[in-house]
Amino acid sequence: MLKLEARPEASKLMSVLSPVLALAITVVIGTALFVLLGKDPLRGLHVFFIEPLRSVYALSELAMKATPLILIALGLAVCFRSNVWNIGAEGQFVVGAIAAAGVAMTATAETGRWIVAAVLAAGVLGGMLWAGIVAFLRDRFNANEILVSLMLVYVADQVLGYMVYGPWKDPAGFNFPQTITFLKSTQIPKLFAGYRVNIGLIIALLAVGAFWVLLFRTYAGFQLQVGGLAPAAARYAGFSSRKALWTALLLSGGMAGLAGALEVAGPLGQLTPYVPAGNGFAAIIVAFVGRLHPVGIIFSGVLMSMFYIGGELAQSRLGLPKSLTGVFQGLLLFTLLACDTLIAYRVRWVAGHATSSSPQPRKA
C-alpha cells in the first residue's frame, strides 16, 4: 500500500515541481469535465491553452489581463510571507478604482497628460487607505485581519454602487449606472497602436524587480520574512511586529489600488458597477501558485489569465458556462495544496503483511 513518510528536510525540487504537477492534474481533470459535458476535450483544451497564445492580438490581451493579477499578487506575497492574511485585496482594488476615477473626472479639455500620474497615485492611496483600516483594527483591537479585510470587500462594493448610481452617475448616460467617459488625457497610454495593452505592463514588470529586491536584497524585507516565519525569533531580535503589519498591509493595499486605477483608467475608461471582476481573489491563487516569489508570480499570472480568456472563449465557441473559469481556478488551487504535501512528505510503497485468518483464543 502507499504511505506518506516525512522527509528529513523539505524538498527544494518538489517545491518547484509542485505547481507543474498541479497544472498537469488540473488539465487531466479538466479533460474529464469536457467529456462529461459532452464536448470535445481536445477542442476544449485548445480553447484554454492555445487560443490565448496564437496571435499578437491574443498575446496583448493576455498581457493586459495578467497585469492587475501580477500587481495584486506581488502585494499579497509580501503579506503572506509576513504572516499577515490579507484576503480583501478585491475591496482595495475597488477603492483604488474609485479614487482614481474621482481624480480622472476633474480633468478638463486643457488638462495635460500629467494627470495620468495623479490618477495612478490616487489609486495607490485609495488602496492603502482601505488596507489601513484593516491594519488599524488589527493593531488597535487585535481584530482578525482575514475577516475584516474580507468584509470590507462588500463595503467597497456598496460604496461603488452608491457613487455610480448616485452623485457620479452620468446625466447623459441613458440612466445606466456609470460615470462619464474619461477624457483622453486621463487614459493610460497604450504601448502599441491597435492593441489595448498599456504601460501598466511595464509598471508590473518594474514592480516585479522592485519586490524581488525588497524581499531578497534588503534588511526591511528580511525583517518582514523573519516576522512571518518565526515571530518569536523576530521579537527576540527586536523587530517590530507592528511595523511589519502596517508595512505589509499598506504595500498590499497600494498595489491592489494601483491595479484598480490601471483598470478603470485603461481598458474601461469609466467607472461602472462591473469594476470588481474577481481579480483580488484570483490574485491569491496567483500568489500561491507563484510560490510567493515575484518571478514565479509572472508565470502564474499569465496562466490565470489564460483561464480567464479561455473561459470567455469556451462560452462563445463551445456554449459552456463562463463559470468554468472559476472551476479551473479552484481545481488549480486545490491540486496545488495537495501536491504541496510532497514537499514535506514522500510517497512510499509498503508491502502489506499477511495476517492469520484463524481465530485467536480468548483470554479468560
For 64, the domain range is 54-318
Confirm whether 274 is domain-assigned: yes
Model confidence band, residue 16 (pLDDT cutoffs 50, 70, 90): confident
Q: What pLDDT sits at residue 360?
A: 58
Confirm whether 338 is domain-assigned: no
State pLDDT tens for residues 96-142: 999 999 999 999 999 999 999 999 999 999 999 999 999 999 999 99
Q: What pLDDT sits at residue 361?
A: 58
Q: What CATH number is attached to the domain comprising 250? A: 1.10.3470
Confirm whether 168 is domain-assigned: yes
Model confidence band, residue 353 (pLDDT cutoffs 50, 70, 90): low
Cell 498537469 sits on residue:
24
Q: What pLDDT sits at residue 238?
A: 84
* DSSP character string of 183-222: PGGGSPPBSSTT---BTHHHHHHHHHHHHHHHHHHSHHHH
Tally of domains in the chain:
1
Confirm whether 197 is domain-assigned: yes
* DSSP character string of 251-310: HHHHHHHHHHHHHIIIII-S--TT---SHHHHHHHHHHHTTT-HHHHHHHHHHHHHHHHH
Percent of the chain with pLDDT over 70: 96
Confirm whether 147 is domain-assigned: yes
Contact 350, 3 (CB under 8 A): yes
50 vs 2, residue with greater confidence: 50
Percent of the chain with pLDDT over 90: 73
State pLDDT tens for residues 151-202: 999 999 999 999 999 999 999 988 899 999 999 999 999 999 889 999 999 9
What average pLDDT does the segment 301-325 reach? Answer: 89
What average pLDDT does the segment 258-276 reach? Answer: 94
Q: What pLDDT sits at residue 364?
A: 46
Confirm whether 39 is domain-assigned: no
Please check the confidence at residue 228 and state whether its pLDDT lies above 90: no
Q: What pLDDT sits at residue 363?
A: 54
What average pLDDT does the segment 199-214 reach? Answer: 97
Please check the confidence at residue 267 and state whether its pLDDT lies above 80: yes
Rounded-to-integer distance, Cα 181 and Cα 38, Å: 43
Rounded-to-integer distance, Cα 7 and Cα 341, Å: 11
Mean pLDDT rounded to a whole number for the chain: 91
Rounded-to-integer distance, Cα 247 and Cα 242, Å: 8
Confirm whether 76 is domain-assigned: yes
Cα→Cα distances 54→41, 58, 78, 197, Å: 19, 6, 34, 16
Please check the confidence at residue 356 and state whether its pLDDT lies above 50: no
Rounded-to-integer distance, Cα 255 and Cα 301, Å: 15
Please check the confidence at residue 347 and state whether its pLDDT lies above 80: yes
Confirm whether 352 is domain-assigned: no
Rounded-to-integer distance, Cα 127 and Cα 68, Å: 13
State pLDDT tens for residues 21-32: 999 999 999 999
